[in-house]
Structure formats: structure tokens, C-alpha cells
A and B are shown apart, each in its own frame.
Chain A
Amino acid sequence: MIPLALIEDALVYANLLLMLTVGFTLTYLIAKIPNFAHGEFAGIGVYITFTVAQVWKSNPYLAVPLAFIISAFSGALIYNGVLRTLKRFGGTMISLTISTLAMQIMISALLNIYADYLYPIAGAYSRLFLFRHLDFEFIGLPGVLIVSTIFLLTLITFLHLMLTRTRFGISLRAVVEDSSLASILGVNVELACTISWMLTAGIAGVAGSLLPLWFQGHPYTGSMLLTSVFAASILGGLSSIYGAMIGAYIIGLTEIFGTYLLAQTFGAQLTAYRSLIPLTILCIVLLIFPRGITGLIEDLQARRASKAMVKIRGEGS
């Protein structure tokens, strides 16, 4: 029998991972580089919640909009201040990717400094903190599970409608496919990229702000989450945000339930190796179906179409 707390653990984690993975994949599709600093936007969210709850002594949920705004601003700053500048000076994809790694290290260091700065002000530990006691309960369910699920459903609906029904969303998909063609049709590609970076960084900030209500927060939260985000995005196929959603849920649930089962079988010391689960899935995907779930679905559709074509030709002759 699986304990209820474990199911709650898994669902909250999968929800937060999905928010991060969708943003990571969308950024990759538009900017064509993996943003290694993406997890750090969640790290920013974690410390905004700490500031709101421990320094301002306010409701931790007030941190959610604040985390969105500050993380979105950080995303815009990284894109325009670092990536666009490097591109202007002829930066290659490799140098741009390495610059995001540098940004990840820098933000992580800044979060460490901020954590040390907060310790005497808050009068509480600013590392490895947990705010479950500040969360509310509704019909026996933790508030963070309800809030993250509602936010996620709203996010998925919003993204789907934006990408398929609005001119901006269609332009974004056009930029993903061919940014040069999109620009000659009137799309300001840099503005589209800036907005998408703001949006995805903001969503990651929200995920981070909800995290300390269920899991321990620390300055390395973002970088530790990155392994799972990376695995989920690659499992999804890196070419579709819908694939990313499926990938995130599979990785999120497998990581929590897998760790539990391994700990039950081999002992609690195995929980320290939890990140091996997404890494193992990542290796399997890259070896067996490198185009991920989206690739599998596309192959299946192509096979069906070709069978239908053969049937039509057969009937014709």
C-alpha cells in the first residue's frame, strides 16, 4: 500500500517539474540553446518565499506573483544583457550555451550570498527550510497541491490557447520553425524571444515559490532540479511543449515512487542517489528513442499515414 503522503509528494513534485520543463523546452525551441540557468529562476522563487514568509512574516502565497515578476525580469535581463550581446558579437550556439552555464553558477552564488545575508535578519535558518506548517489544508489535501494543480491547469490552457489562437502564439511557433522567415513577415524576433524568456522564467519562479511549502528549500534547489528538468524535456522530445508535459509527469512520478521503492528494498541510504533515476531514464531515452515521446508519436502517425496511402493505392489499382 502506497502511503497518501507519498502520493501527495509525487503529485506536488510532478506539478512543479512540469512548470519548469514546459518553460525549459519552450526556451530551447525559440532560442535553440539549452538554458542551464533555467532552474535558478526557481531558486529565485524559493528565496522570495523565504523573504515573504520569514522576513516579512506574511502569507507565503503572496510570494507567488512577486516570484513571477522578479524571475521574469531576471529572464529578460539574461536574454538581453548576455545572450543578445554575445549574439551581436558573433557568439556561436556553444558559447551561448556555456554563457547560460556561467549564469547558472552566478545566480546560484548570489542566492548563497542572499541566504547568508537573510540569516541574521530573519532569525531563522535560511538554508534547508520548510514551510509546510504555514500551508493551509482543504478537504484533507495540502494547499500547495491544490494551488499548483489549479495553476498548472490554467497554465496549460493558457499556453494552448495562446499558441493556437492568438497572433502572438502563432508568431512564436513560426519563430520556432524559421525565425528568418518570421522576421521578413513582420515578427520582431528579438521581442518575441524576450517575451518568451520572461514568460518561462516567470513560470519557473512560480514553481520555485511554491516549492518550500512542501519540499526543503536551499540555494542549490534550482541546480538540483535541473537534472530532472533536462531528463523530462528530452523524454518529451525537446520539440514540443505537450511532449514536455508528458515527460515531466513521467519523470516526476517515477523519481518519487522509484526512490521510495528502492529505499524500501535496499535501505534508506539510497535516497541520496535519487537523481540517478532521471539520469538513467535520460540515458535510456537517448540510446533507444532519442527523439523522445514526440518522436514516437510522429513515427506512429507517419506509419499510419503510409499504411493508409498503400491501401488507397491498392484500391486504385
Chain B
Amino acid sequence: MIEVYDLNAGYGKLHILYDVKLKVNDNEIVTVLGPNGSGKSTLLKTIMGLTTIYGGKIIFDGKDVTKLRPDEKAKLGLAYIPQIGNVFTNLTVKENLIMAGLTLDKSEFNDRLEYALSVFPFLKACLDRKVKTLSGGERQMLSMAMALIMKSKFIMFDEPTGNLAPKIATEVLNKIIELREQSKLTILLVEQAARKALEVSDRAYLLVSGRVIYEGSSKELLEHPELGKLYLGVKKL
């Protein structure tokens, strides 16, 4: 689905990612973990085309998308749900859902809207409400409903459970598993809550100071004697 080769990127002259290699196969959930400031969010932004790329390649479905603009990548089926600012607070819920379906024709949008509302039924009651009146958890659910509407095959979530109450966070992660199973999506996940994220994902990458220092199955990382303890705060069961 997506392959990243020797990616070097950052913001302007600020170099953040060094020779990052990453691969996500079809219908896989892959988690990127690492301490604060390790470049996890920058990696997702770079794949989406929001940073400066100094070198390397991003291949999506066999096509080189390294130099494409974010809107061009969105039309190809890449989606990125940022950690914060993932919804338009001054627009209504319905307008946010319309924004998510920009690349779709009307009938396809209506079908997907109906499906998204069946997955997140609480949104039906607040379609005309401004998003700024929703709670943090409701906004996160809205962003996931938007991800369902997007014509995407590959979704990148940046800390979807950040700042959420534990119960809501579990609900959000369960929805991500549902997305993969019901919509046959491929998912790349960046998470601070390491244990929970590893439990829902197939494989994981550990990023430290902008470099990949571990790649393997999530189970192996959870049980790794040193890495889990050092970088993820994961205690061995």
C-alpha cells in the first residue's frame, strides 16, 4: 500500500526525519511509537505533503507521490487526521462532513454520509450545530466519521486518543479496528498511549530522534525487554 524510502524531511531548514524507511501493507494497522519530539507527527505530515522533503521517496499504490500536493494525495486516497485541529470548529457538523466528501460525486457522498451516520448515530442529531459546541470526544468521533466519508484507502491517525478520557479513548481505538475490518482500510497510527496502540495494531515502528530504531510485530515490541521499558513506558506483563 505505502512504502517510504530513506525519507529526510523537516520544516524549512529544521531537519527532523533522517533516512526513515517504512512500509504498510494492505489492510494492516501499523503503529508508530516514540518519545515526545521524536518526529512521529512530522512523519505523518511528510507522507501527506505538509513539510519540506530533502530526500527520499514515498510510493503509494506503486506510484511515486513524493512531490504531490496534499490535495492531490487526498484525491488518490490518502487521508491524514491530525492530532489537534482535525475539524473546522466554525463550520457545522454537516459542513465538516461535506468537506470530507469533497473528492466524491453527489450520489457516492450521500451513500458514504449515510454509512458514517450509521456508525456514529449521535451525529444525526447535531448536523446543523457548529462544531465549536461539541465536546472533545464528540469532535474526535466527528473526525473519524469524516475519515469514513473520505475516498481514502489509507488513513493516518495522529494521536486519536490524545486528551480524551480513558473510556472514550478505548471507544475511539475500537472504532479504528472497526474501520479496518468493515471498510477494508489500511491504517497508520501515531500514539502516545503505547500499550493500547500496540494491542490494536499488527506491526510497529519505534522512532527516536527522527530515526527508526525498531521495526517488527507489535507483540514483539510489547514484550521487548529493553525498548518497551526505555521508550514506551510499557511494563512487561
Contact = CB atoms under 8 A, between A and B. Distances in A.
Contact of B75 (A171, A186, A189): A186
A154 interface: no
Contacts of A174: 88, 91, 95, 99
A167 interface: yes
A182 B74 CA distance: 10
B88 A167 contact: no
Given A180-B50, A184-B80, A167 B102 contact: yes
Nearest to B100: A185
Interface in A160-183: 167, 170-171, 173-174, 176-178, 180-183
Given A177-B89, A181-B82, A181-B86, A186 B98 contact: no
A187 B69 CA distance: 10
A303 to B, nearest CB: 16
Interface in B115-147: 146
A188 B100 contact: no
Interface of B: 12, 48, 50, 69-71, 73-75, 79-80, 82, 85-86, 88-91, 95, 98-100, 102-103, 146, 150
A185 B95 contact: no
29 contacts: A167-B102, A170-B99, A173-B88, A173-B90, A173-B91, A174-B88, A174-B99, A176-B90, A177-B88, A180-B70, A180-B85, A181-B85, A183-B69, A183-B70, A183-B71, A183-B74, A184-B50, A184-B70, A184-B71, A184-B73, A185-B100, A185-B102, A185-B146, A186-B71, A186-B75, A186-B103, A187-B71, A188-B69, A189-B71
A90 B52 CA distance: 12
B71 A170 contact: no
Contacts of A181: 82, 85-86, 88
A262 B213 CA distance: 76
Interface of A: 90, 167, 170-171, 173-174, 176-178, 180-189
Given A90-B12, A181-B88, A170 B98 contact: yes
Top-10 shortest CB links A-B:
A186-B74, A183-B70, A186-B102, A186-B103, A184-B70, A188-B71, A177-B88, A186-B71, A184-B80, A185-B99
Contacts of B95: 170, 173-174
Given A170-B99, A171-B102, A177-B91, A184 B85 contact: no
B79 A184 contact: yes
Contact of A171 (B73, B86, B90, B99): B99
A274 B89 CA distance: 41
B74 to A, nearest CB: 4
Contact of B74 (A173, A180, A184): A184
Contacts of A170: 91, 95, 98-99
A29 to B, nearest CB: 11
B69 A178 contact: no
Contacts of A187: 71, 99, 102
Contacts of B85: 178, 180-181
Contacts of B79: 184
A170 B86 CA distance: 16
A178 B12 contact: no
A44 B83 CA distance: 46
A170 B102 CA distance: 10
A171 B100 CA distance: 10
